[in-house]
């Protein structure tokens, strides 16, 4: 039920955030690296964040282990959100972005969210305790950077223009 409610929140917020009546109205103006030709809303990430927080809150209410982790996770998430938002508005140096990514990944580890095993097709391997932390940090920073890369390519910045002429 929590997953369905989180999906509904994401759907409603993304529909609102990518419309012209949305507040805040933040547009990505095309440049030579853009895949769009007209100004495009950049508020889709705020909608996804709202849905993610909804899911985290619902999980922390339903699962007792998640309650303790949620309080530790927020101090890692907030700087990531602030740096990402500032980077969308103005260019933030790679050092600050990477520092926010590593801090967010470290907050996952502190919250107890770590890789326990790899499950690749037919191959399942448990991770040794000493390997779980660096692997969690590596994959978390990797995925945050991947999301940032896709967002920078306008993959989820608000949607692509259907009329590219």
Q: What pLDDT score does 46 carry?
A: 74
Distance CA 161, CA 117 (A): 40
104 close to 77: Cβ distance less than 8 angstroms: yes
Q: What pLDDT score does 149 carry?
A: 66
Q: What pLDDT score does 162 carry?
A: 43
Per-residue pLDDT tens digits for 32-66: 666 767 777 777 777 777 888 888 778 777 776 65
Would you list the domain boundaries of the chain?
2-152
User: What is the residue-wise DSSP string for 98-164?
Assistant: HHHHHHHHHHHHHHT----EEEETTEEEEPPHHHHHHHHHHHHHHHHHHHHHHHHTTSSSS---S--
Q: What pLDDT score does 99 carry?
A: 93
| Mean pLDDT for all residues in the chain | 75
Burial pattern 131-141, b for ≥16 Cβ within 10 A else e, equals ebeeebbeebb
Question: Does residue 126 register a pLDDT over 70?
Answer: yes
Top-confidence residue, 87 or 135? 135
Say how many Å lie between the first and final Cα of the chain, rounded: 43
Q: What pLDDT score does 61 carry?
A: 75
Per-residue pLDDT tens digits for 94-112: 899 899 999 999 988 888 7
* Closest residue by Cα to residue 103 from 88, 152, 111, 156: 111
Question: Does residue 82 register a pLDDT over 90?
Answer: no
Confidence band (pLDDT; 50, 70, 90) for 69?
low
Provide the sign of the torsion angle of the four alpha carbons 33, 34, 39, 42, taken in this order. Answer: negative
135 close to 127: Cβ distance less than 8 angstroms: yes
């Amino acid at each position: 039920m929590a997953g369905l409610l989180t999906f509904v929140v994401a759907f409603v917020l993304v529909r609102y955030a990518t419309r012209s009546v949305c507040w805040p109205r933040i547009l990505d103006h095309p440049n030579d690296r853009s895949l769009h030709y007209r100004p495009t809303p950049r508020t889709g990430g705020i909608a996804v964040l709202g849905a993610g927080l909804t899911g985290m809150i619902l999980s922390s209410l339903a699962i007792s282990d998640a309650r303790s982790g949620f309080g530790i996770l927020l101090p890692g998430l907030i700087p990531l959100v602030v740096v990402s938002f500032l980077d969308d508005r103005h260019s933030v140096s790679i050092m600050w972005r990477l520092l926010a990514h590593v801090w967010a990944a470290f907050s996952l580890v502190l919250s107890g969210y770590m890789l326990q095993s790899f499950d690749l097709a037919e191959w399942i391997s448990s991770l040794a305790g000493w390997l779980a932390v660096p692997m969690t940090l590596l994959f978390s920073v990797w995925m945050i950077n991947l999301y940032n890369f896709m967002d920078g390519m306008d993959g989820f910045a608000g949607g692509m223009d259907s009329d590219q002429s």
